Amino acid sequence: MTNNGFQHGNAAGMRIHVLPTKAFKTFAISLYAGVPLDESTVTSTALAPFVLRRGTATYPETTQFRERLEELYGAGFGFDIYKRGDYQIVQFRMDTINDSFVQSKESLLGESFAFLGEVLTRPLLENGSFRASYVATERETVRKKLEAIVNDKIRYAAERCIEEMCRQEPYRLHPLGQRADLDGITPENLYESYTAWLNGAILDLYVVGDTTPEEVEKLVIRHFGRAHKQSESYTSNFKPVTVQEVRTVEEKLDVNQGKLNMGLRTSITYKDDRYASALMYNGILGGYPHSKLFVNVREKESLAYYASSRYDGHKGIGTIQSGIETQNYGKAVDIIRKQLDELKAGNISDLELSQTKAMIRNLLSEIQDSAFELISFDFNRQLSGKDRSAQELLAEVDGIGAEEVKAAADTFQLDTIYFLTGKGE
């Protein structure tokens, strides 16, 4: 079946999504592996790809691994780990030049599949588990990444606000895991959890480039052909949360500038027909430089060094981030709440509507220029079960007026106020 140009099928227990196109000079390959966020596995799942990228059965040393990518005309290989709704997702990416642009004896698409298949399913093993030195080094890599969040107070405050707001939900967990768990991870138990992860994950493989679904399916069977159970679909157990009372959390650390973050709950998620209204709401509230938070909190009142908002459509959560002088806390909370009330009251200018539409239009049209953006947009569909092309979303956004934004605003309820302040205050 086809959607947005992607053709969808299944092979070797994976869902396969192919966009045959001559628009790009490269093949973009993306493999998503998703599992539910879970305190007992989140850290080992995050650590596994760091160890996998160190060496495989054929390329046991990291230098050989990198040289192999060079032989494939400098193919790019990388991975990301993030959360979408209550899932932890590992995304492996490869970017390989199209065969027709180089004099290559072998099919570069085929060789890339061989490489990615090996990274994922044939890691380097010693005595039946991962190489101990790789596990030790990569444990420190992940530890440093988690420590970097604590040192970056803007990121730290954003994470802590989510942690406090979602303290009873898996979503509180950071996709890179928890520092406290790292020391308990051994080469043996990491290999066990990697095997369980690989067998339990929902797998979606994407290819954008000058190929066909038939060719991709053959390559998948050849290079990933293992007895993997058929990938299930993502299931959303989303239940709108009704806020009983706003919770305020204050934390003292050695900071010069206060960080005021707020978390909001909404009943609107990506699959909802009102999703475009929620995008517009976030854009007018704090998504762009013309937004209410930026103009009123930062520019008019000079209360904040930065002030913006984000909306996570897979979780039904909005967040507000701002940096303020600690003595301005009360004033800043009041003026941010006033912007929320303005939207609920429908006080939205034609200029705010048209500027926000222009910004969203730019973002959606940029998707067409990047193979990985096209992939990521279609993956939202796999996650949410909602069939909606970028063009359809754009048309929905264009049709939205102040009334629809006001209706969306009514669903956004302030849940948590988190304030990170200095110790000497």
Domains and CATH numbers, the chain: 2-224 (3.30.830.10), 247-422 (3.30.830.10)
Give residue 299's pLDDT.
Answer: 79
Q: What is the Cα–Cα distance from 157 to 251, expressed in whole angstroms?
A: 9
Q: How confident is the model at residue 229 (pLDDT cuts 50, 70, 90)?
A: low
Mean pLDDT of all residues in 261-275: 97
pLDDT (average), residues 276-281: 98
Provide the 3-class DSSP secondary structure of residue 200: helix
Label residue 303 by pLDDT band (50, 70, 90).
confident
Q: How many CB atoms lie under 10 A from the CB of residue 67?
A: 11
User: Is the pLDDT score of 230 beyond 70?
Assistant: no
- CA distance linking residue 203 with residue 181, whole number of Å: 26
d(C-alpha 386, C-alpha 379), whole Å: 10
Question: How many residues comprise the chain?
Answer: 425
Tell me, what's the pLDDT at 405? 98
- On the question of pLDDT at 82 being above 50, the answer is yes
Can you tell me the mean pLDDT for 190-215? Answer: 95
- Residue 298 binned pLDDT confidence (cut-offs 50, 70, 90): confident
> From the CB of residue 107, how many other CB atoms can be counted at a distance below 10 Å?
16
Q: What percent of the chain has pLDDT over 90?
A: 87
Average pLDDT on 392-416 reads 97
Q: Which of 359, 378, 381 has the alpha carbon at shortest distance from 370?
A: 378
Residues 107-159 pLDDT 10s: 899 999 999 999 999 999 999 999 999 999 999 999 999 999 999 999 999 99
Per-residue model confidence (pLDDT) at position 423 = 83
Structure tokens at 213: 């679904």
Predicted local confidence at residue 238, as pLDDT: 84
Q: Is the pLDDT of residue 19 over 70?
A: yes
DSSP secondary structure of 208-232: EES--HHHHHHHHHHHH-S-PPPP-
Structure tokens belonging to residue 29: 């390959």
Nearest-10 crossing angle of helices 108-121, 213-224: 40
Distance CA 165, CA 171 (A): 9
- The predicted model gives 214-243 an average pLDDT of 84
From 122, 103, 92, 104, select the one nearest 30 (Cα to Cα). 92
- What's the maximum distance between 2 C-alpha atoms anywhere in the chain? 68
Whether pTM exceeds 0.85: yes
pLDDT at site 417 = 98
Kindly report which listed range (180-189, 208-217, 261-270, 298-307) carries the lowest average pLDDT score: 298-307
> How many of the other CB atoms lie within 10 Å of CB of 195?
11
Q: Are 199 and 228 in contact (CB under 8 A)?
A: yes
Q: In which element (H, E) is residue 374 found?
A: helix 371-384
Cα(7)–Cα(165) distance, integer angstroms: 39
pLDDT of the residue at 197? 95
- Percentage of residues in the chain with pLDDT exceeding 70? 97
pLDDT classification of 228: cutoffs 50, 70, 90: low
Name the residue with higher pLDDT: 236 or 17. Answer: 17
At 2, is the pLDDT very low, low, confident or very high (cuts 50, 70, 90)?
very low
Nearest to 320 by CA among 300, 340, 342: 340
pLDDT surpasses 60 at 383: yes
d(CA 388, CA 75): 32
Q: What is the pLDDT of residue 149?
A: 95
pLDDT of the residue at 364: 94
Residue 189 pLDDT grade (very low, low, confident, very high; cuts 50, 70, 90): very high
Q: Please name the residues in contact with 137: beta carbons below 8 A apart, sequence gap of 6 or more.
A: 54
**Lowest-pLDDT choice from 197-211, 230-244, 395-409:** 230-244
Distance, CA of 68 to CA of 84 (rounded, Å): 32
Lookup result for tokens 């046991």: 60
Confidence grade of residue 1 (pLDDT, cut at 50, 70, 90)? very low
Q: What's the chain's average pLDDT?
A: 93
Q: Please state the rounded mean pLDDT for residues 3-9.
A: 83
How far is Cα of residue 44 from the mean position of the Cα atoms in its chain? Answer: 18
Nearest 5°: the CA angle 392, 81, 305 is 80
